[in-house]
Structure 1
Amino acid sequence: MSKHNESLGDVHNSVNTENKTGWRKILAFIGPAYLVSVGYMDPGNWATDIAGGSAFGYKLIWVLLASNLIALLLQSLSARLGIVRGLDLAQASKNTYPRFTNFCLYILAQVAIIACDLAEIIGMAIGLQLLFDLPLIWGVLLTITDTILLLFLMNKGMRKLEAFIVSMIFIVGLSFLTEMFIVKPDVVEVVKGFAPSFLSGKSLYIAIGIIGATVMPHNLYLHSSLVQTRKISRTDEGIRSAIKFNLFDTVIALNLAFLVNAAILILAAGAFFTNGHFEVAEIQDAYKLLESIFGKMAPVLFAVALIASGQSSTITGTLAGQIIMEGHINLRIEPWLRRLLTRILAIVPAVITIIYFGEDSLGNLLILSQVVLSLQLGFAIIPLIHFTSDKKRMDKFAIGPLVKVGAWASAVIIVGLNVKLVYEQIITWLHDYPGATMWIYFLVIPIIIGIAVLLLYVFIRPLMFKHHEKPQLLPHGLALAIHDIEAISYKNIAITIDFSKNDFNTIRHGIMQGGKHAKYTLIHVVETAGARYHGTDVMDLETQSDFTNLEKYVTDLKNLGYKAIAKIGYGMPATAIADITNADKIDFIVMGSHGHKALKDLIFGTTVNSVRHKVNVPVLVVKPQPK
């Protein structure tokens, strides 16, 4: 499989699970579900749990439990899809649905990720304000810097990323465990909260927010991809073993997430509801009340846990964004750019809300973001059930009748609650905003009808075209027939020079491609401020020095019997190299790899990729020799 086509190609099959037994085997599989579980305890969960606990006491614990059971079922199906078919949910959708449908599914999934990211932004900003008294607007803008942390962790490998996430979960869990001892909730009332009760009005709205905050759509995409980071035997026994161990991973991780969510709701019920504070929907209010009731220790733990959950959730949201973009619409862009775009799209509504409606309205925006997540769930759940039920492609690993009934029942419950919420919300808008009636009838309702039709189509199409998949939509296409292979002779080879210790190795690899029959063009690009501004000859001291050094390389090569010339480029390296390549009819390029990581990758790491996209000739990238 090409790394460009695999789900999360940079870390695909990067964790070996073979030739391991006992605890080593279990530990090799542990990780993916923990990355998924952070989405089940992010700041969005905090807002809905605090709102539910303060307004209704312990009565909504059963909603949390039901949401967790649904999440366990759906996440296990997601893992099964990734293990058995080697496809994530987005890739499987691309193979099944037409291009326009996939584009719509991508937009909806991206909206869900932005809504999730919005929750992380608000949570992080609130946590920073509570600990350091930083204004919310500055906290929101400061969250854009976590792109650097993501790049650093991704460069360190999947196990390091998982270790960071698990450490964040540990901080959150320890903080709330300590707070439970401080608050001392009513155990009898907690047990009563597990009994189901009728939902309507505000309780329904908060309950759907809890479901949206718990069963998050992008987590279904994420889990189906993360399980593929484990290298497994593709035999029936190997697949069956991988499904079993990933189920262990999922059950443990999601139940830990349930305990954290239950702890937040119980904390809100025990601290606020029982003390007469029934309308605590704001995280800031919860912090202040904790301080006034229980002293300084509880709110500090609360803020630390909030920051930890927000930071870990934003990383998994970025990975999910990569999966849906590459899977649904086959578009791959740099991770830092994708992260930046998603974060900016989430920051804008947060900043607008603070400026025009004040900081106090962020809590409502936080709950709304979770409701948006719930509304998008059907578009991820329905395809997932179809794909894992398909006996032709899942073979003996297709889900059985009981699991299928449970999965469809979960889908009906979620979609049904969302339909009820949308209906009640439209009625409320028509009653509260009579001046906006025309907009509701001619804009809002048609959009809702369009989304409903799309959901119906997503459900019906796999039933109508049960085994219809177009070959051109497969991740790789069809293999080409290989006939006689003739040797390629390169006549004009370009070698990029940066006057580092790697130059010798780069030149050596270039000469190996053409011998003494080819002509070698040594290229160096001057990147001074003047060169970048003018994009042409700038004979400053650096340029003169670089030209002299480049000519020395040329002279040395000529003395060895090679044909070589020097070319100086000016301005942006990728553009200058491409211009020289096209103008001089270069037919092969040899470039040295910089070997940068993390922050330097953000600054310097795009030259090779940019050159590849600007030229139509082969590019050989030479890595630095180990020290």
Structure 2
Amino acid sequence: MGPVKGDGVAPPTVAPVAPVAPAPATTAVPSVSPVPDAESALRQLRSRGRLRGVIALFGPAFVAAVAYVDPGNFATNFTAGATFGYTLVWVIVVANLMAMLVQYLSAKAGVATGRDLPELCREHLPRPVSRGLWVQAEIIAMATDLAEFVGAAVGLYLLFGVPLFAAGLITAVVAFAILALEQRGYRRFELAIVALLGIVFLGFLYDLIVVGAHPASFAAGLVPHLTGGDSLLLVCGIIGATVMPHVVYLHSALTKSRVACRDDAERRELLRFQRLDVVVGLGAAGLINLSMLVIAASLFNGRGHSGVDSIEAAHAGLGELVGGGAALAFAVALLASGLSSSSVGTYAGQVVMQGFIRRQIPLFVRRAVTMAPALVVLGLGLPATDSLVISQVVLSFGIPFALVPLLMLTRRRDIMGTFVNNRVTNTVAGTIAALIIALNLFLLWDTFLG
């Protein structure tokens, strides 16, 4: 440590001995690593071994993936499969590929800048635009909570007969308990979410094995086509349930400071693992979504029960046509989905508010505000599945407001540095945004003017 500049007791002859130049280098070191010669956080994780080192770097995409298999997906995928059979398989595949690219861009923004997407919007976009994005993000948070709370409440009702309104309150309590794990370290929270995601995966794996599938019909469903306005509504719902606006914001917050990197070389190495994390985590979510549609298509549409258009009816149908084990697996998966996605949704809401307006309110207050619409739906006894499908359509309309700023910011070299998007990435991501916006505009026209 050099002598303090301006020390009045130091004799004049000492001043030249204390060089000014080394001071910035000395103070710059802590921003990279607290101890200059210490092993970096990335190297410490990688030193655990080939497998353990990779697993230690996994997590953010799995937290994001939970939002891609929330109860809204149950509603849209089962309705799509029961009504249209395998026709919309291609939509789930395309939506999942879109989600992989979008979530990777969000993860990259966090690693490259050390900021999450809401913070970047506040710093680099005009203030009215940033505030407008915050307002719509809060509305989207309410639509998200509607799907998650209603789904978890229905799961509790199917398993234990708990009245829906009381089940919604229980969901809030459990969500708080899961969120409390994050206060004790991000890894505990991630592991809890991954465990719940695993329950959802195993539940639908069991049901898929029991129900079976038709490979030829599945292959035909990979060819893009629609069957009218009703199928278009479900297309928007599936996309809205798959590409989730709030986790576009959240993913960047999960990666911005999770693993400290010394330099761009380490950031580039970390991004390779983040890319793998996205492929594995969202790939698992995509398989779950496909299994939902395949089960509904094989069991209900294939047997002439195309009128199955609610989660309760899907649960009852599984019990009647397959057996109690399949119905139990479905209900457990639904409950695990609702509880995990509700916790992730609340976490995302905090990131949005803190990033856009530098404000943070107690989790209890936030939860009370955003879950209010869900409790109204449960308290009034409104159709749960219809409410879930509509909430997913609302989410679909919110996607461009998260996606467009993400693309605008990640294509700027002054923000991303060497990690700026290349031309191919910009073209593909721009096409995705344009496609989603076009679908939403067409849905509006078909609904109100068609």
Whether the TM-score (by the shorter chain) exceeds 0.5 is yes
CA distance in 2, matches of 1:152, 1:93: 28
Q: Kindly indicate whether the alpha-carbon contact (under 8 Å) linking 1:64 and 1:258 is maintained by their aligned counterparts in 2.
A: yes
Q: Deviations over 1:496-540 (max 9, x none)?
A: xxxxxxxxxxxxxxxxxxxxxxxxxxxxxxxxxxxxxxxxxxxxx
Q: How does 1:403-482 map to 2 (within 5 A)?
A: 403-427=425-449
Q: Does 2:291 align with 1:258?
A: no
Structure-2 change in CA distance of 1:129 and 1:201 (3 Å): same
Tell me which residue corresponds to 1:123. Answer: 151
What SS does the aligned partner of 1:323 have? helix
Residue aligning to 2:404: 382
Question: Bigger radius of gyration, 1 or 2?
Answer: 1
CA-based RMSD of the aligned residues comes to 1.6
SS class of match (1:377): helix
The secondary structure found in structure 1 opposite 2:256 is helix
Structure 2 distance, partners of 1:316, 1:248, is 21
Shift in Å at residue 195 of structure 1?
1.2
SS in 2 for 1:406: helix
2:418 alignment partner AA: K
Cα displacement (A) at 1:147:
4.6
1:113/1:379 CA distance change after superposition, 3 Å: same
1:42 is the counterpart of 2:70: yes
- 1:161-180 counterparts in 2 under 5 A? 161-180=189-208
How far apart are the structure 1 equivalents of 2:130 and 2:174? 30
Q: Which residue of 1 aligns with 2:121?
A: 93
What is aligned with 1:60? Answer: 88
1:457-606 matches, cutoff 5 A: none
Report the alpha carbon displacement of residue 64 of structure 1 after superposing the two structures with TM: 0.2
1:134 pairs, out of 148, 152, 162, with 162
How far did residue 231 of structure 1 move? Answer: 2.1
CA distance in 2 between partners of 1:200 and 1:104 (Å): 34
1:196 aligns with 2:224: yes
Post-superposition shift, 1:349? 4.0
Separation in 2, partners of 1:183, 1:116 = 30
Q: Is the 8 A contact 2:42 2:266 kept in 1?
A: no
Q: Which amino acid aligns with 1:230?
A: R
Distance in structure 1 (CA, Å) of the matches to 2:42 and 2:334 = 34
The structural deviation recorded for 1:221 is: 0.4
Cα drift, residue 97 of structure 1: 2.3
* 8 A contact 2:61–2:251 mirrored in 1: yes
Aligned identity (percent) is 37
**Distance in 1 between the 2:260 and 2:227 partners?**
45
Across the two proteins, how many residue pairs are aligned to each other?
408
Q: What is the DSSP-based 3-state SS (H/G/I as helix, E as strand, rest coil) of the residue aligned with 1:59?
A: coil
1:151·1:336 contact (CA, 8 Å) conserved in 2?
no
Match for 1:372 among 394, 419, 422?
Answer: 394
The reply on whether 1:279 has 2:304 as its aligned counterpart is no
- 1:17 equivalent to 2:39? Answer no
Task: Work out the CA distance in 2 between the residues paired with 1:415 and 1:227.
Answer: 28
Offset at 1:151?
A: 4.4
SS at match of 1:232: coil
How far apart, CA to CA, are the structure 2 residues paired with 1:76 and 1:155? 25
Letter in 1 for 2:436: I
| 1:363 counterpart (385, 388, 395) | 385
Match of 2:98 among 70, 76, 79: 70
For the Cα contact (< 8 Å) 1:118–1:350, is it kept in 2? no
Code of the residue aligned with 2:360 in structure 1: it is R
Are the counterparts in 2 of residues 80 and 243 from structure 1 also a CA contact under 8 Å?
Answer: yes
Structure 1 residues 337 and 177: CA distance shift in structure 2, 3 A: same
Query: In the alignment, which of 338, 347, 368 is matched to residue 340 of structure 1?
Result: 368
Q: Tell me if structure 2 keeps the 8 A contact 1:147–1:336.
A: no
Is the 1:130–1:303 Cα contact (8 Å) retained in structure 2? yes
Deviation at 1:104, TM superposition (A): 1.6
Instruction: Report the counterpart of residue 154 of structure 1 in structure 2.
Output: 182
What is the distance in 1 between the residues matched to 2:85 and 2:358? 46
Extract structure 1 runs of 4+ deviating beyond 6 A: none
Once the two structures are superposed, residues 551-607 of structure 1 have per-residue CA deviations (whole angstroms, 9 ceiling, x without a partner) of xxxxxxxxxxxxxxxxxxxxxxxxxxxxxxxxxxxxxxxxxxxxxxxxxxxxxxxxx
- Structure 2 unaligned runs (5+)? 1-39
CA distance in 2, matches of 1:399, 1:274: 45
Aligned-pair distance for 1:400? 0.7
Tell whether the 8 Å contact from 1:17 to 1:28 is kept in structure 2 after alignment: no
TM-score by length of 2: 0.88
CA shift in 2, pair 1:349/1:130, >3 Å: closer
1:219 aligns with 247
> Are 2:119 and 2:356, in contact at CA under 8 Å, matched by a contact in 1?
yes
Query: Under a length normalisation based on structure 1, what TM-score does the superposition of the two structures give?
Result: 0.63
Gap regions ≥5 residues in structure 1: 1-14, 429-627
Q: What is the Cα deviation at residue 60 of structure 1?
A: 0.5
SS at match of 1:197: coil
Match of 2:209 among 172, 181, 184: 181
Which structure has greater strand proportion? Answer: 1
